[in-house]
Amino acid sequence: MQPLKIYNTLSREKELFKALHAPLVGLYVCGPTVYNYVHLGNLRTFSSFDILYRYLTHIGYKVRYVRNITDVGHLVGDGDEGEDKIGKMAKLEKLEPMEIVHRYTNDFHQVLSTFNLLPPSIEPTATGHIVEQIETSKNLLEKGLAYESNGSIYFDIEAYNKQGGDYGKLSGRVLDDLLTETRDLDGVGEKRSPLDFALWKKASPEHIMRWPSPWGDGFPGWHLECTCMSHKYLGDTFDIHGGGMDLKFPHHECEIAQAKGAYGRAPVQYWMHTNMLTVNGQKMSKSLGNSFLPNELISGNHPLLEQAYSPMTVRFFMLQSQYRSTLDFSNDALKAAQKGYKRIANGMRNIKRMQYPAGIVSQPDEKQTAEIQAAIQGCYDGMNDDLNTAVTIAHLFTLLKKINQLYTGSLAFDQLSEETFQALKSTYITILEDVLGIRLELPENWESLTEGLLSLYKGFKEARKYDKVDEIRATFKSMGLLIKDMKDSIDWGFEE
Ligand code: AMP
Ligand code: ZN
């Protein structure tokens, strides 16, 4: 097993990854609130955890990867008061909340598959786990860690900290500072302290999404779903919990408090947080109006975009920085990524078709061999150093140089042993395809290829070069297509 180190937000150090229940790794990632199309910033976070999932699998772990869908309880403004994001959108669009949920869940899946992200093992929804959320609220009430106020249930931070809790530790916040900040902001209302947060909220008469509970009709608080679902599918303590940095506080801080309170143990061994995708230094976010939809990038249809960029170009762009650094969007950076991706992709095409020649007697060149071995090790060292994909890609470019030299003949096969050649080939392909999720993209406008071939066909026909005519017919046929010789023109159709 490779010695993977990951930065743990909780200890604020890079730690050697040790699976709690090896070989099974439990990974939980906070999923999207499905009231809106996913933007490129969201995609960056989910892509980073896709790399983690792929790499853990590549180095030999089985991973139970749980990524939830938030379809209730996340309120506008991210606090405990106000409208549900999904309920609000449903009213605006005059649709059922579940129609909103379905529309944006489908979009989320479609986008993730376009960018070659693997689906998780389990994708639970908050509305599918209302019973568990009511049970956990009851559990916390019984332990004296929550209280009822006017039909809502709140988590009691003071009681939690008195019982040995450490609210604020993950995000490095000091309780007294937090108290001052929040008291100034929105007062106490029905809470005992402004820091307390909702486990269950009473539904006002106009609130659409509601369920019966021992405390009357209501709905779950945003933070509770992740605690209940991660506990249900991954147990009291699991390996890795991830999300964007903006979820550290209060969302993940509250998750820790709820889980420790309800189940008596710290829920997570390693907390991982991705940094933000920015535009001109500002976080990309729907509310700031600086976000792109992935489909806008693919079509190039957005005032800030100078051209269209393919999904693999965008994926490659994201991989060129480590997940813990910010990544700033710019046309220049994407254009550079486009060039880089194409060079890498050409190398992939070439090495896939290259075979070590049978029967040659190699005289391995020590320098070449050492360079290849160092680059192969470098690919893994990069990944093992807190998933530093930027370093891994730099080493892939060294391997690419060797592949190109083999391709053009400036490096002869007999300068490498068969073993070194096979290691070069398999590392280049598996790191790119399996670990980084980069695949070959063929041009979308393949119809122009058929048009070009048809015009050649016409020329050969006129010149009575029938062997060439037959060759082109056969090429079309191998694709299930038929060339049609019309009276005044030539066309193609599907072979029926
Ligand atoms: P949301 O649906 O807004 O809750 O976000 C879903 C995920 O995307 C969360 O893990 C957020 O932290 C993450 N996220 C939101 N905006 C950005 C951004 N600009 N860059 C990276 N991740 C983001
Ligand atoms: Zn969550």
Nearest CA to ligand 1 atom 15: 42
Nearest CA to ligand 1 atom 8: 42
Pocket test for ligand 1, best of 45, 255, 318 (most atoms within 8 A of CB): 45
pLDDT of residue 445: 77
pLDDT of residue 177: 83
Beta partners for 482? 493
DSSP code of 166?
Answer: -
pLDDT of residue 103: 97
Ligand nearest to the CA of 44: 1
* pTM for this predicted structure: 0.94
pLDDT of residue 186: 52
How many Å lie between the centroid of ligand 1 and the Cα of residue 29? 11
Cα distance between residue 472 and residue 450, in whole Å: 10
How many Å lie between the centroid of ligand 2 and the Cα of residue 373? 41
pLDDT of residue 263: 96
pLDDT of residue 446: 78
How many Å lie between the centroid of ligand 2 and the Cα of residue 113? 22
pLDDT of residue 448: 86
Nearest CA to ligand 1 atom 1: 32
pLDDT of residue 185: 53
Low-confidence ranges of the chain (pLDDT < 50): none
Strands 5-8 and 327-329: unpaired
- CB atoms inside a 10 Å sphere around CB 88: 17
How many Å lie between the centroid of ligand 2 and the Cα of residue 190? 25
Residue 111, φ and ψ in degrees, nearest 5? -65, -45
Pocket test for ligand 1, best of 51, 101, 107, 246 (most atoms within 8 A of CB): 246
Cα distance between residue 423 and residue 429, in whole Å: 10
Closest ligand 1 atom number to CA of residue 291: 19
Residue 188, φ and ψ in degrees, nearest 5? -100, -40
pLDDT of residue 184: 53
Ligand nearest to the CA of 33: 1
How many Å lie between the centroid of ligand 2 and the Cα of residue 252? 7
Residues near ligand 1 (Cβ within 6 A)? 30, 32-33, 41-42, 44-45, 243-244, 246-247, 274, 276-277, 283-285
Enter the tokens of residue 86: 């999904």
Ligand nearest to the CA of 292: 1
pLDDT of residue 198: 97
pLDDT of residue 199: 98
Residues lying with their CB under 5 A of ligand 2, a single-atom ion = 30, 226
Ligand nearest to the CA of 246: 1
Closest ligand 1 atom number to CA of residue 244: 12
- How much of the chain, in percent, has pLDDT values that exceed 90? 89
Ligand nearest to the CA of 108: 1
How many Å lie between the centroid of ligand 1 and the Cα of residue 242? 11
- CB atoms inside a 10 Å sphere around CB 169: 13
Cα distance between residue 268 and residue 20, in whole Å: 10
Nearest CA to ligand 1 atom 11: 244
Residues 6+ apart with CB under 8 A from 496: none
Ligand nearest to the CA of 230: 2
How many Å lie between the centroid of ligand 1 and the Cα of residue 346? 33
Residue 107 host element (H or E): helix 97-114
SS3 state at 378: helix
- Asked if residue 368 lies in contact with residue 393, where contact means CB atoms within 8 angstroms, the answer is no
How many Å lie between the centroid of ligand 2 and the Cα of residue 245? 12
How many Å lie between the centroid of ligand 2 and the Cα of residue 342? 36
How many Å lie between the centroid of ligand 2 and the Cα of residue 105? 16
Closest ligand 1 atom number to CA of residue 30: 10
pLDDT of residue 447: 83
Residue 400, φ and ψ in degrees, nearest 5? -60, -40
Pocket test for ligand 1, best of 35, 39, 42 (most atoms within 8 A of CB): 42
DSSP code of 79?
Answer: S
